[in-house]
Structure 1
Amino acid sequence: MDELNKSFDDLLIESGDEFDEGGDVLDEMVVNALESSEESDWNSSDEQSDSSDEGSQWSSTIRRRDQFRFQGFEGVLDRDVLDYQHPIQFYRRFITDEMIELIIRETNRYGLSKYPDWTDIDEEELLKFLAICFQMELEIRSNLKDYWSTRKVFSESFAAKLISRNRFVQILNAFHFADNDAPDKSNRLYKIQPILDMLNEEFAAVYSPGKNVCIDESMIPFRGRVIFRQYIRGKRHKFGIKVYKLCCAGGYTCKFIVYAGQQRDRTCPSSQQAVLDLVAPYLNEGRTVTADNFYTSIALAELLIEQKTNYVGTLRKNRLGIPVDIKNARLKRGEVVARQNNKGVTVLKWNDKREIYMLSTCHDASKGQSNKPVMVEGYNLAKGSVDLSDQMCSYTPFVRKTTKWYLRLFFHLVTQTSVVNAWHVYCVVKERISIKEFKCRIIESILEGWRPTEPTTSRPKLCEVSGPKRTSRRRCVNCYKNGSRIHGAPYARSHAVHLTRNAPFDLCKYLLIL
């Protein structure tokens, strides 16, 4: 029992500072984006120094150049999803049978090497395990052992009806996604890389974003030891694993990249490379990419223009290529100064509570109804998609920490990001419900033993029931039909003759007419 308690304390104890309360999108999103991005980890070699406009032709004449017409598709790509009825079907579209088989195979492999008395896990037990994890998100208790407590103060134990406490901990300790005997030393994420690849593939195959997409980083809380753990002072979760995300309206995550450190063979800044990798499947279709000043540079905007893609974002004042007259301009509150180069990149400085630098390839320097530059209004509107994704994940978080970084990453992606994506598609196809209600229906379906129906390959056939034949008489359909036409339905119901199975129908017609 001491060993079991130690396992709970060391492996799965609640972390109070990992609970993220959902909140509304802040009104002053641009200012907050500037403050948080400046505190993020960023290599000084990533084009930070020197503000020179040599080699660029900048003009004070600003023209709106939204020259790219959107030619992509927005909506559900997989037509089979349109026939889904239950939340569990939408969720299992992302958590595929292939992924379940991988988890079962690698967990059993590692479990046999770790426990002499290991019993192989199957699909039913794995789904029950995930159902308990979902329930832990909905009902937070101070200690993991309390979910199996029989004390009256904890009411009825949900988890105990599915899996015993010892078995749950045993599965959690053995949870694996890759073979430890065949590691890929060149990939820091090899322990979870198959899961990452499967999720990215399914995210892209189910739903296609519209014209506006947004890029930002999310922090997955983690305080354990891992070489690529990040510290960002401006984030609520200051320590964790950084994930670059490409999101669209509604909070759907189209693609994500886990940051595992800088690549030695990179040819451009890591922030710029992250943008190019995320938007690669959606280039040359007239989309508009929105990101904060961690990613924004004039060079990136010009690269995207060549790929028929617009860019909008906040800009750091020490980025390479900003016109000197913009940087040196002294503005009163509310004033704007802007320049546009010959490739269509517009750089703007607006003095609000502080000086804000913006870059856009599809806006001019005019102001909107809120007396803010339309460039700022467009940025705030598009940036909400990533914030909505993080906000929906924070409503029912999996608030258990672990010393294994790949488990923390797995549970975040499978019990939060995948659920938000499935919920978004469900709201588009069926009806709009809360994310909490969506998770509750997933749990209920797992408990009921839901299984997807197998598609039929031929037309259904009626088979004669074996046993004694029916001897009772039934109303003749021809008799009732003709009687209704001539005398009305009430008369036909009371006068229709009840015949045996092989009786001649012509007799009925004469009787009804008489």
Structure 2
Amino acid sequence: MADRKRLYDPSKQEDYTKLLELLAADSESEDENPNSQSDSDEDVECNESNSDNENEDVSVDINTWFRVSKETPVHLNLCSGDSFDLTIVSDPVNFSSQYSAFTQFMPRSVFVHVADQTNLYAQQFLDKTHDFSPRSRYAKWKDCTTEDIEAMVAMEIGMGMCRKPSLKDYFSETSWLLRTPNFGEVMSRDKYFLLRSFVHFNNNANFVKKGLPEYDPLFKIRPIIEMTKETYLQHVQPGKCVSVDETMLKFTGRLWFKQYLPSKPSTKWGIKLWSLCDSKTGFLCKFDTYVGKGSGVKTGETLGEHVVKNLLRGFEKSN
């Protein structure tokens, strides 16, 4: 039973932050399978300018992370026949691995904020609730750390890569069929579910009720949106041709501004986003969430005009 009650171990901090790379490493083992298809079916060509301004064609596997030069367009020729240029404007070392690239768009400040808000909500909940049993998992709550939130996010991503019938199955230690390494080693089952119960992104004390002028339908996640939406253009420079279109984020839960678009081939139910993307690469530059007709639209302005002007704000003097 002692193994089932593991608590956070500071010595495993590096394992927490590297879990994404550990999970991604499983896919690399497929390259060693002699029955796999030839590399020519999965390769793309990367033409990269060197210090002598000479072009060199490098064949890389689509699952292989490769270095790029700062402010140098990387020309990719896909095996489908499509090609595009992608310009990295930040330090190339920021994209030296999958994990480092992930942290450029989801910086540590986000995890610090989530840890603070989670501890705040847990304290608010425990102060108001006095009727739970001493054996309740709520009685075991201890303030979480930034590393705990990072570990939880990594586990959530890993769960999306490895689907199981139940969340408890990821922590199974008895069944040879359901047992999955890493998950239980990073965080115990009880601690994961307790953290999942309290995780929060904004202070409920500042919530404005619906119907009031300052009501924000995205209040619960507004800080995360504002902290991450500006990171896209900080690291990748789009081309001169951009496109504005609607994108569906799959969601089947209960939400009053959930949309149904029967014309979409894959995601018909979900949250609609207005997206500004690079026309050639499809890279997402900016986005805005659609929360209902007329929201934020000025008098005498159509919804289409409002969306385009809002997403193109900051590009007025761009060539």
Of the two, which has the highest radius of gyration?
Answer: 1
Q: What secondary structure, in the 3-state scheme, does the structure 2 residue paired with 1:216 have?
A: strand
Q: Tell whether 2:293 aligns with 1:269.
A: no
Q: CA deviation at 1:116?
A: 4.3
Q: Which residue pairs with 1:92 in the alignment?
A: 103
Aligned CA-pair RMSD? 2.2
Residues 83 and 182 of structure 1: CA distance in aligned 2, closer, same or farther (over 3 Å): closer
Correspondence for 1:218 among 247, 250, 253: 247
Hey, what's the Cα distance between the residues in 1 that align with 2:239 and 2:161? 32
Q: Is the 8 A contact 2:171 2:180 kept in 1?
A: no
Q: Helix, strand or coil: the match of 1:241?
A: strand
2:263 corresponds, among 208, 213, 234, to 234
Q: Secondary structure at the match of 1:280?
A: coil
Question: C-alpha displacement at 1:184, in angstroms?
Answer: 3.9
**Higher relative contact order at CA 8 Å, sep ≥6: structure 1 or structure 2?**
1
Q: 2:202 aligns with which of 161, 175, 178?
A: 178
Distance in structure 1 (CA, Å) of the matches to 2:185 and 2:241: 46
Pair 1:113-2:144 in alignment: no
Q: Does 1:158 align with 2:182?
A: yes
Asked whether the 8 Å contact 1:104–1:122 carries over to 2, the reply is yes
Query: SS at 2:113's partner residue?
Result: helix
Partners of 1:220 and 1:173 lie apart in 2 by 23
How many residue pairs match? The answer is 213
List per-residue Cα deviations over 1:339-388 (Å, max 9, x = no partner): xxxxxxxxxxxxxxxxxxxxxxxxxxxxxxxxxxxxxxxxxxxxxxxxxx
Matched, 1:258 2:269: no
Deviation at 1:198, TM superposition (A): 1.2
Q: Work out whether residues 81 and 90 of structure 1, in 8 Å CA contact, stay in contact via their aligned partners in 2.
A: no
Counterpart residue identity of residue 115, structure 2: I
Question: Could you report, residue by residue, the CA deviation over 1:302-323 in whole angstroms, capped at 9, with x for unpaired residues?
Answer: xxxxxxxxxxxxxxxxxxxxxx
Deviations 1:416-445 (A, max 9, x none): xxxxxxxxxxxxxxxxxxxxxxxxxxxxxx
Query: How far did residue 265 of structure 1 move?
Result: 5.0
Please state how far the C-alpha of 1:206 moved relative to its aligned partner: 1.6
Judged with a 3 Å threshold, the aligned counterparts in structure 2 of structure 1 residues 169 and 90 are, in CA distance, closer, same or farther, namely: same
The aligned residue for residue 318 of structure 2 is 285
Distance 1:81 1:194, change over 3 A: farther
Cα deviation for residue 154 of structure 1 reads 2.1
Deviation at 1:238, TM superposition (A): 2.2
Conservation of the 8 A alpha-carbon contact between 2:169 and 2:179: no
**Displacement of 1:258:** 0.8
Residue 149 of structure 1 contacts residue 157 of structure 1 at CA under 8 Å; is this kept in 2?
no
Cα distance between partner residues in 2 of 1:92 and 1:265: 34
Could you tell me which runs of 5 or more consecutive residues in structure 1 were left unpaired when the two chains were aligned: 1-73, 287-514
Tell me, yes or no, if structure 1 residue 76 matches structure 2 residue 88. yes
Once residues 193 and 238 of structure 1 are traced to their aligned partners in structure 2, the CA distance between those partners, rounded to angstroms, is 24
Q: Distance in 1 between matches of 2:232 and 2:208?
A: 25
Give the 4+ runs in structure 1 shifted more than 6 A. Answer: none
Q: Quick check: 2:274–2:289 contact (8 Å CA) kept in 1? A: yes
Cα 1:84–1:219 shift into 2, 3 Å: closer
Match of 1:130 among 131, 147, 153: 153
Contact conserved, 2:94 with 2:101, CA < 8 A, in 1?
A: no
TM-score of the two chains, using structure 2 as the length reference: 0.61
1:157-214 Cα distance to aligned partner (Å, 9 max, x none) = 4311111222212212211110001114421111111111111111122222111112
Compared with structure 1, are the counterparts of its residues 190 and 81 closer, same or farther at alpha carbon in structure 2 (3 Å cutoff)?
farther
Residues in 1 aligned to 2:115 and 2:164: alpha-carbon distance in whole angstroms: 28
Gaps of 5+ in 2: 1-85, 126-137, 210-214
Aligned CA distance change for structure 1 residues 141 and 201 (closer, same or farther; 3 Å): same
Letter paired with 1:278: L
Q: Aligned partner of 1:160: which letter?
A: G
Distance change in 2, residues 1:173/1:271 (3 Å): farther
Query: Following the alignment from structure 1 to structure 2, what is the Cα–Cα distance between the partners of residues 212 and 195?
Result: 28
State whether residues 201 and 220 of structure 2, in contact with CA within 8 Å, keep that contact through their aligned partners in structure 1: yes
Counterpart residue type for residue 111 of structure 2: I
Identify the match of residue 220 of structure 2 among 169, 188, 191. 191
Alignment partners' CA distance in 1, 2:93 and 2:177: 44
Q: Answer whether contact 1:112 1:118 (CA < 8 A) is retained.
A: no
Note if 1:142 corresponds to 2:172: no
Give the Cα–Cα distance (whole angstroms) in 2 for the partners of residues 234 and 284 of structure 1: 35
Q: Which amino acid aligns with 2:149?
A: L
Q: Which amino acid aligns with 1:221?
A: K
Letter in 2 for 1:187: D
What are the within-5 Å matches in structure 2 for residues 299-338 of structure 1? none
Q: TM-score, normalised by structure 1?
A: 0.39
Q: In percent, how many aligned pairs have the same letter? A: 27
The residue aligned with 1:459 is none
| Cα distance in 2 for residues equivalent to 1:264 and 1:169 | 38
Q: CA deviation at 1:83?
A: 5.9
**Residue 451 (structure 1) aligns with:** none
Aligned partner letter, 1:164: S
Q: Which residue of 2 aligns with 1:290?
A: none
